[in-house]
Structure 1
Amino acid sequence: MDETLIEKIYEAAFIPERWNDVLQKLADVSGGVSAAVIVYNGLIQPRWRSTPLIDEVLTGYCTSDAWKVSELTPYMLNVPPAAFFYDADYFPGEVLSRDLMRAPLKALGIGNQLGTLMRMPTGENVCITIELSVNSTRPGNQLMDGLAGLRPHLARTGLMAARLGLERAQAAVSVLASMGLPAAVLAQNGRVLAANTLLESANGSVIFTAMGKLALRHRAANMLFQEGLSQAARNTVVRSIPVRSDGGNAPCIVHILPITGAAHDIFDNAATAVVITPVNGANAPDTVMLHGLFDLTPAEARLAQHLVEGRSTGGAADALGVSITTIRSQLSAIFSKTGTKRQSELTSLLSSLGSIKGGEGSKPRSG
């Protein structure tokens, strides 16, 4: 996928008007005719952005009762997708046939859709759709793999979209406060330029160090945090770091996001944003969230689930139907992505984030 698209995705994290550019670019690289992002939050009316072609149809969907009676979103919540999907492969035929959006979209020359749903640790669900021409054929594996690579970036930006309401942020401090989450923006040298009071009174996981910089109290997590800050300041590498419950502090996830492109205008040339999301039992990471937050592949996330449930590597290999060599390779990748070095440390870390629920009904591609 085009690297400039990833940069645009992170611009949209802080300048929500850029979602329109991201969605158009997403449609273009996918051979689609339109795209949309919809943020669901319980029974509250969804928020959305879309390319012009479907804006009127999507506005009608989100401002009427149509979204409440749609069967597609409940199906995605019950059978969480671990990657982008082609609607005809993912949804049962009878569910698609009853979809109220089918007819108005078909009138615009739209046939099938690509899509994904990403659960935010704060409770919202962010849906991305890409609409295909009625004359389009099923996309190939190369495109679907490319979209899978974009999904973790979209998940992190989706978190910001869910909190900022897809409305323009006027200044760094007001942006951070409006998130309702502990957050800060950092200069390229790691110095804190602005932080909200939620970060200053965070649950003990974050500490301010000499020269106005940030660190995590948990040693292993802080090593990964400092490495992530260094990488993000140089390029668009991003990290999501789990911080386990320790000494009375609640578990949380620390996200490091690069501030790119025009977002520098809002954040006065800041290089990085740090956002902390709490984790609780009600919204604990499942295999799908492990995939989205920590960049674990679906196969790695399933292995992590089996290990947390108490299986040995041999038992996990039997349960997953793969060789022990494959398991060891996947485990090595998991260690690297979570900043752990031993299986006991990994299971302790993930267990402290809450119960890991299964989310494999969609049968995502392995890898």
Structure 2
Amino acid sequence: MADARLAMMAVLDTVAATPRFSVAWGEEALLTPLMHDYAAEVPFYSALPMMEIDVPFTVDMIYALQGAGARETWLDSRITREWVVPNNLDDFFWLVLMRQPTRTGTFVIITDRDRHQITRAELDAVSLLSPHVRRAVTIGDMFEEERRTAGLFRAVVDALSHPVLIVDRAMRILFANPAAEQMLADRGTVSSTHGQLSFSYAEADAAVSRAVALGEHNEFALGAAGINVPLLRARAPAVAHVMPLARRDIRARITNQAAAAIFIAEAGCGPIPALDALAALFGLTAAERRVAGHVAMGRSRAEIAQASGVSDGTVKSQLAAIFDKTGTGDQRELQGLFRELSPPVRQSPTS
């Protein structure tokens, strides 16, 4: 799709400065020296904290993030002189997929010098792909250590310390690993009524149910929905991730009725900001998330258009999509929803 030479996806342990896992595609003669000799010398890692999730960046866009001297630093680096230039490489699509206190997930697609310059339409296409890669990386990261010693899906799920529930399209529980069984027994964050899964936080319950139904019907249409869904009334900040199973091999589903696997994980070191919670609960795209952020700051439609560098009509369409997804009727109601979600994950004295 990107007419590229190489692609790499990895989750990096930012404390140990080592990869938790990585996957690469492309010519072995190009990949081997990059992985063994030059990966640590890439000067763009300092830009990662400034990059938005699901938004692809080109090399020029990263220069702009890093500021004066960034371009010269890259052109003068050993990796450019010894690897990029001799192999006729040029630009890239670079995405941040995961940003946790101790690890970062990235996806890089490297293009050839003879290829045409990356276009806005191509960036938009990769942006649409990004949430699906992010889902794979987020859930894959939870699997990785167990995957090294267990090969079967059920064995891996059983061994996970994270609660995992397999549900059908109607949210009936088909399987729960031991950690999930304990969570169900506690009847706090999640519960089972006549075998049907529900979450104590109504917005999370609706968001997860929507993601399960949509993933069973049209997995690609999921986009960012069902990733990092914030769960209220958790003993510690927690989120849910939905992994569609309907199109998977039966061995990766446990039963042919399975529509999705729901993973519950810690949300990091603290509450999720309201904007991130809104995006996760209602599956907002990166562009919709930015517009919603402007609304949260009290900006008018005209001010949003000016700040975003787009037409009033574009903002009007984006707002209409946001109102439809969130069930709000105007910017005032959307601001009210932000207030309800601030903070979206908090510890209750009684929980």
TM (normalized to structure 2)? 0.74
Which structure 1 segments of 5+ residues have no match?
1-28, 356-367
CA deviations 1:13-69 (Å, max 9, x no partner) are xxxxxxxxxxxxxxxx111122111211213311211014143134315xxxx5555
Q: Whose radius of gyration is greater, 1 or 2?
A: 2
Residue 216 of structure 2 aligns with which residue?
Answer: 233
Equivalent in 33, 36, 48 of residue 22 of structure 2: 48
Q: Which residue of 1 aligns with 2:121?
A: 142
Of structures 1 and 2, the one scoring higher in RCO (CA 8 A, sep 6+) is 1
- 1:248-286 Cα distance to aligned partner (Å, 9 max, x none): 655543222212545432323332111223335557459
For residues 73 and 348 of structure 1, what CA distance do their matches in structure 2 show?
Answer: 34
Could you say which residue in structure 2 is the equivalent of 1:24?
none
- In 2, the alpha carbon distance for the partners of 1:72 and 1:260 equals 38
The one-letter amino acid paired with 2:203 is A
Residue 319 to residue 89, structure 1, CA distance change in 2 (3 Å) = closer
In structure 2, the residue matched to 1:129 is 108
Asked if residue 159 in structure 1 is aligned to residue 138 in structure 2, the reply is yes
State the distance in 2 between where 1:288 and 1:186 align.
Answer: 26
- Match for residue 349 of structure 2? none
1:59 corresponding residue in structure 2: 35
Please name the residue that 2:6 is paired with: 34
8 Å contact from structure 1 (residues 126, 162) kept in 2: no
In structure 1, the partner of 2:67 is none
Q: CA deviation at 1:144?
A: 1.6
| Partners of 2:153 and 2:251 within 8 A in 1 | no
Q: Which letter does structure 1 place at the counterpart of 2:176?
A: A
Q: Equivalents in 1 of 2:334, 2:275: separation in Å? A: 17
Letter of the 2:25 partner, please give it. Answer: T
Report deviation, 1:223: 3.0
What amino acid sits opposite 2:243 in the alignment? Answer: L
- Are residues 1:73 and 2:64 paired? no
RMSD: 3.7
Aligned amino acid, residue 302 of structure 1: R
State the distance in 2 between where 1:223 and 1:235 align: 18
- The answer as to whether partners of 1:308 and 1:351 remain within 8 angstroms in 2 is no
Say which is worse superposed, 292-301 or 73-82, in terms of deviation.
292-301
Q: 1:192 aligns with which of 150, 161, 173?
A: 173
Contact 1:251 1:279 in 2 (8 A): yes
TM-score, length-scaled by structure 1: 0.71
Residue 176 of structure 1, CA deviation: 2.8
CA distance in 2, matches of 1:255, 1:219: 16
Provide the secondary structure at the position in 2 that maps to 1:50: strand
* Superposed CA offset, 1:85-143 (max 9, x none): 22234333124225554332444443322211122457532111112123222122222
* Aligned residue in 2 for 1:265: 251
Determine the structure 1 residue equivalent to 2:193. Answer: 209
Distance across 1 between alignment mates of 2:9 and 2:189: 32
Contact 2:294 2:304 in 1 (8 A): no
Q: CA deviation at 1:288?
A: 7.9
- Residue 240 of structure 1 aligns with an amino acid whose one-letter code is G
Q: Distance in 2 between the 1:183 and 1:320 partners?
A: 42
Instruction: Measure, in 1, the Cα distance between the counterparts of 2:296 and 2:207.
Output: 21
Moved more, 344-353 or 311-320: 311-320
**Is 144-153 or 235-244 further displaced after alignment?**
235-244
| Cα deviation code 1:296-336 (max 9, x no counterpart) | 33442233334445x36569648836788766653443344
Cα distance in 2 for residues equivalent to 1:334 and 1:255 = 21
Distance 1:340 1:179 in 2: 38
Rounded Cα–Cα distance in structure 1 between residues aligned with 2:237 and 2:343: 7
Q: Distance in 2 between matches of 1:139 and 1:315?
A: 30
1:158 aligned counterpart, secondary structure: helix
3-state DSSP class of the match of 2:226?
A: strand
Change (3 A) 1:107 1:118: same
State the distance in 2 between where 1:72 and 1:190 align: 43
Residues 34 and 83 of structure 2 are in contact (CA less than 8 Å); yes or no, is this contact kept in structure 1? no
Task: Give the equivalent residue in structure 1 for 2:74.
Answer: 96
Number of aligned positions between the proteins: 320
* Separation (CA, whole Å) in 1 of partners of 2:144 and 2:72: 33
Distance 1:307 1:147 in 2: 26
- C-alpha spacing 1:104/1:325, structure 2 compared with 1 (3 Å): closer
Q: Which residue does 1:112 correspond to in 2?
A: 91
Which residue is equivalent to 1:219?
Answer: 202
> Paired residue for 2:241, among 255, 265, 268?
255
Distance change >3 Å, CA 198–CA 316, structure 1 → 2: farther
Letter in 2 for 1:55: L
